[in-house]
Structure 1
Amino acid sequence: MLILLPPSEGKTPAADGSPVDLAELSFPELTTARQDVAVALAAISAQDDALSQLGVGASLVHEVSRNTRLAHEPAAPAHSIYSGVLFDALGYQSLTTPQKIKADAAVVVVSGLWGAVRFADRIPAYRLSMSVGLPGLGKLASFWKPKLASAMEDAAQGQLLVDCRSSTYAAAWVPAPERTVAVNVFTERDGTRKVVSHFAKHTRGELARHLLTRRGKAPETPAQLAKAAGEKWTVELVAGTARKAHALNIILTD
């Protein structure tokens, strides 16, 4: 089982530590692409119109400035850099040691800067969305798509892929639909369903934690995933097609 997550928008910078070593990150075949993105990001982040080009507000000027010195910023394990609703709900720090080992092996974060990283990979805090276009590289989702398809092939082989990514990050890698389950979260009230971003992020984080902490064998099929999720929520499993992944709909009721 692989659990695919988007990165958090905000990051928690490492207080100290050595800088990132690209050669030590998972999926080393992405090293050159990571270097290309980092160089382009540093260049655009140094421009007067960096905030608008990166699609962020004035309150994030310090985070954008950090993009210009990522090679020298302290790095820390990705699980401590990524923060926010989903990652708080997953609660890596409160996992047991065996559960942390399981998380380090099972979780892959798809990133606009790194392509894909695992929880134990040491990275610095940065600011970059997959929706951004960088000079010379174009839209990042399109830039990463062929590279991730190649790099992730071995890791995904024979695995059930639990896709908790948002649509922006899902566009950067489209794995084989027959072994992929996209996780959707709805709130339901008086028979009407709605998608609410905050609850979706939180519930996806809770699902990841449940899969990492529950007893028994990790799910290997969409049906087994639905059964595992059904231990905590009301769920529906929508069968996929030759071109579309299965869907696990988690229904939250008042």
Structure 2
Amino acid sequence: MLVLLPPSETKATGGDGAPLDLDNLATPELNPIRHRLIEALSTLADDLPASLNALGLSERQAEEVHRNAELWEAPTTPALQRYTGVLYDALDVGSLSAAERARADTRLAVASALFGVVRGTDAIPAYRLSASSSLPGLGTLRGMWRPVLEPVLGAVEAPVVDLRSGAYAALAKIPGAIAVRVLSESADGTRKVVSHHNKAHKGKLARALARVVEEPRTIEDVLTVAKDAGLRVEREGDRGLCVVVDA
């Protein structure tokens, strides 16, 4: 099973790994695009105003641009430890047992505007680039990634649980993936999408799928794992699941 997580805008700083080596990352067929984006992003960092504008940042976030300037030299850390925020707090890989962490590294991957997709053990630096960004001279990330990323993700033979947000899902479609959405339900039964619950409960689902010993192989297996983890989950059609939380 492959559980595809959204990234986070926030990243843990530092790391104790060697500088980025694209040849050590999974899916090496993505390396030409990765290299172009890293070169463009690090070069753009020489022009702070242009970088802030392209990345949609304020002057108070200039440190994010400084990180991009050092992408080739900065220390790295495994991807599941690099991303932070609500979803990754709920995933809480640091509290997993050694066996659970091994399963997480095998089953979980993270969508990335810069790297396309990274596996849990892929050593990456801190960076700032969102799926909605457009870098000067390169056009949209969707236009760059879809031709190369869709074949890679489409070739995954195991079931894919797609937890990506809309902007990252647009970088590559995955036919047959199990789509998951999160809705809050009020006392009168009204349901609506809310971002905070979305992230936290997707993190809880990813944690449950990482921890279970037997490999989930069907949407029914995913449904069972989610319910066993205390999540209220409903089937939506052939390939969809809805996690329902109280408003």
Correspondence for 1:183 among 180, 183, 188: 180
Q: Is the 8 A contact 2:52 2:62 kept in 1?
A: yes
CA distance in 1, matches of 2:175, 2:15: 39
**Could you tell me which residue of structure 2 aligns to residue 202 of structure 1?**
200
Q: Is the 8 A contact 1:27 1:152 kept in 2?
A: no
How far has the Cα of 1:45 moved from its partner?
A: 2.6
Correspondence for 2:220 among 209, 220, 223: 223
CA distance in 2, matches of 1:187, 1:16: 40
How far has the Cα of 1:152 moved from its partner?
A: 3.0
Q: Is the 8 A contact 1:5 1:108 kept in 2?
A: yes
CA distance in 1, matches of 2:25, 2:106: 13
How far has the Cα of 1:151 moved from its partner?
A: 2.6
Trace 1:78-157 onto structure 2 (pairs within 5 A).
Answer: 78-154=79-155, 156-157=156-157
How far has the Cα of 1:153 moved from its partner?
A: 4.1
Q: Is the 8 A contact 1:3 1:107 kept in 2?
A: yes
CA distance in 1, matches of 2:232, 2:197: 15
**Could you tell me which residue of structure 2 aligns to residue 168 of structure 1?**
167
SS state at 2:84 partner: coil
CA distance in 2, matches of 1:115, 1:61: 24
Q: Is the 8 A contact 2:30 2:148 kept in 1?
A: yes
- Compare 7-16 and 18-27 and name the one that shifted more: 7-16
**Could you tell me which residue of structure 2 aligns to residue 31 of structure 1?**
31
Q: What amino acid is aligned across from residue 95 of structure 2 in structure 1? A: S
The alignment covers a number of residue pairs equal to: 244
Q: TM-score, normalised by structure 2?
A: 0.94
1:222-248 superposed Cα distances (whole Å, 9 cap, x missing partner):
2222222222222211114xxxxx221
Trace 1:40-51 onto structure 2 (pairs within 5 A).
Answer: 40-47=40-47, 48-51=49-52
Identity of aligned residues (%): 41
Q: Is the 8 A contact 1:99 1:213 kept in 2?
A: yes
How far has the Cα of 1:8 moved from its partner?
A: 0.9
How far has the Cα of 1:15 moved from its partner?
A: 4.0
How far has the Cα of 1:4 moved from its partner?
A: 0.3
CA distance in 2, matches of 1:35, 1:167: 25
CA distance in 2, matches of 1:109, 1:134: 21
How far has the Cα of 1:161 moved from its partner?
A: 0.8
Q: Is the 8 A contact 2:104 2:211 kept in 1?
A: no
SS state at 1:142 partner: helix
Q: What amino acid is aligned across from residue 222 of structure 1 in structure 2? A: I
Q: What are structure 2's unaligned runs of at least 5 residues?
A: none
Q: What amino acid is aligned across from residue 179 of structure 2 in structure 1? A: A
CA distance in 2, matches of 1:56, 1:218: 41
Q: What amino acid is aligned across from residue 124 of structure 2 in structure 1? A: I
How far has the Cα of 1:62 moved from its partner?
A: 0.5
CA distance in 2, matches of 1:233, 1:79: 22
